[in-house]
Every structure is written in C-alpha cells, then in structure tokens.
Amino acid sequence: MVDTIDFDSGQAGPTLLILGAVHGNEKCGSHAIEQLISELRAGEIEIKAGKVSFIPVCNPHAYEQNVRYVDENLNRIFYHHETPQNYEEHLANELVPILQSYDCVLDLHSNHTASEPFGFLDYPEGKAKDFALSLGLDSVVTGWPELFYPEEDHTSSACARRGGGISVTVECGFHDDPHSIVVAKQSAINAMKFFDMIDGTPDEKHTDYVHVVERVLKKSEGEFSKNWSHGDKVKKGDVIGTYDDNTEERASVDGHIFIPNGNAVVGDEWFYIAVDQ
C-alpha cells in the first residue's frame, strides 16, 4: 500500500529512512521528499555512502482525504497487529518491519498551530541527540514518552528504537505554511550530511534543548490570557488561561509554552510547559 524509494550508494555506511505524511493532512514532508527524489534521480544530489530511503506518503488514504487519519492515529499504533481491524492497523503491519530495518529514521510532520520548527527526541540515546541537534531546528524536545506513554509507546520513534535504530520526529511548522516544506527538505539534507551520506556539513544553528514537564488539558470553556506563541517564556505563577468561571491555569515552573492551542475544545490539550536543559 505504501511506496518505498531507495537510493543505495553501494558503499558501506548507515541506512536512513525518511517518512512523509504519517498523518495525512501533514503534507510538507511528502512535498519535500518529492523534491529530493527528483534531485537524486537527476544527479543533483549524490549518495556517497550507505543507503537513504523515502516513504513519501505513509498514510495514502488519509493523504487523499486531507485528514489526520482514516480510522486510527497511525503514529500511536506502530506495532504488529495479529488481526488488524482497520485501515491504519493494516498500514502499521506493513510499515513496522520497514522502520525496524534501518539504522536511523527521520519522520517529517507539521503542526496545527503556527510555530517555529522543532524536533521530538523521544529517546536521546547513542548518536540520537547529536543527530537531532544537527537538523537545524529552533528547538529539540525530550520527555514526551514519560508524559504520554509511561507504559507503552507505539510511535514511529519507539518502533525504530525497538528495531535497534535511532529516530527524530520533526515538526516543520504550520500545516499550510509553504516554508514548512523548506524546513522538511533542509532537515532531510542535514540528516544525510550528518551521517556522511552526502558531501557537506549540517547547517550551524543554535538549537534550544528542552524537556516537556507538563501537559494541560482544557477543563472547561475559557480563553488564553494572551495570544501565546510556541516557545514563549513564562515564569512560575504566570496566568496562561482563564476559564469562564474565573479560575485560572498558571505556569507551574519557569519555562516555555509549547504547542498552545487557542482552538482547543474541552478535554483537548490546551498547552504544554517545557523547561531548558
């Protein structure tokens, strides 16, 4: 159901898998991958060591419908399903052995809110931290599995890790921002440079390294105290939002607002708090 496009140098080196559209409405990675495939086929980029592979669209039906997923969030079910019950479970069964056969996985996503590009480094082991910091992003975030998946993690990163690989997920910007395609493409190029697969060195950029410590769900109707942007600094006690009954959500620590969602409905994630590392 999914297409994998390989470029093998024939020389010793790492294997890198780059994913697009795990979520069907997050298309920047797919567009960036299409550009890279064209340039590789034209000889404008040459793989000199190892092998790089691309899956431009991991969730084809969701991509066609421009929705996040058809039946189930694919990025929560990357494990083998003995008796798959829906479309994404069938996809997972196809994708899991592919992900687990590579040394490194780069998963390209976009965000529902305007934000600077950042990466999720769920498992900062071995070369993974250096890999994440080489991608030219504004920030790299750790702590996600502890917050969300204290028992079982079935994201693409966890799947790659179970196969012995390392992985970074990149949020390239807002879904509809054309610049997110630029970020996705440059992240992929930096990854290939980091692993010495192509000539050059990754872009030098200061990247904040932060740890997510709190997830705040919206308890009732209310609104933010200001138009928060992803990465805004906060002090402990700052009012982040006020509910209609005048109760407040305050910052629990000195840190940063992460992924604020002004359109969150009751029960959804309203914002996260991260601290510098």
pLDDT tens, position by position, for the chain (277 residues)? 799 999 999 999 999 999 999 999 999 999 999 999 999 999 999 999 999 999 999 999 999 999 999 999 999 999 999 999 999 999 999 999 999 999 999 999 998 777 789 999 999 999 999 999 999 998 899 998 888 776 789 999 999 999 999 999 999 998 889 999 999 999 999 999 999 999 999 987 888 898 999 989 899 999 999 999 888 999 999 999 999 999 999 999 999 998 888 888 898 889 999 998 8
Tell me which H or E stretch contains 189. Answer: helix 179-194
So what's the pLDDT on residue 174?
Answer: 86
So what's the pLDDT on residue 41?
Answer: 98
Q: Please, what sign has the CA dihedral across residues 188, 194, 197, 200?
A: positive
So what's the pLDDT on residue 89?
Answer: 98
Q: Where are the domains of the chain?
A: 5-194, 210-276
CB-CB neighbours of 16 under 10 Å = 25
> Phi and psi for 109 in degrees, rounded to 5?
-125, 175
User: Could you tell me the CATH superfamily of domain 5-194?
Assistant: Zn peptidases (3.40.630.10)
Distances from the Cα of 51 to the Cαs of 48, 74, 158, in angstroms?
9, 25, 22
Which residue, among 113, 93, 109, 91, has the nearest Cα to 18 in the 3D structure? 109
Is 210-276 a domain of CATH 2.60.410.10?
Answer: no
So what's the pLDDT on residue 150?
Answer: 67
Q: What does the radius of gyration of the chain's CA atoms come to, in whole angstroms?
A: 19
Q: Is 234 left (phi over 0), alpha (psi -120 to 50) or beta?
A: beta
So what's the pLDDT on residue 93?
Answer: 98
User: What's the CA gap between 208 and 254, in Å, rounded?
Assistant: 15
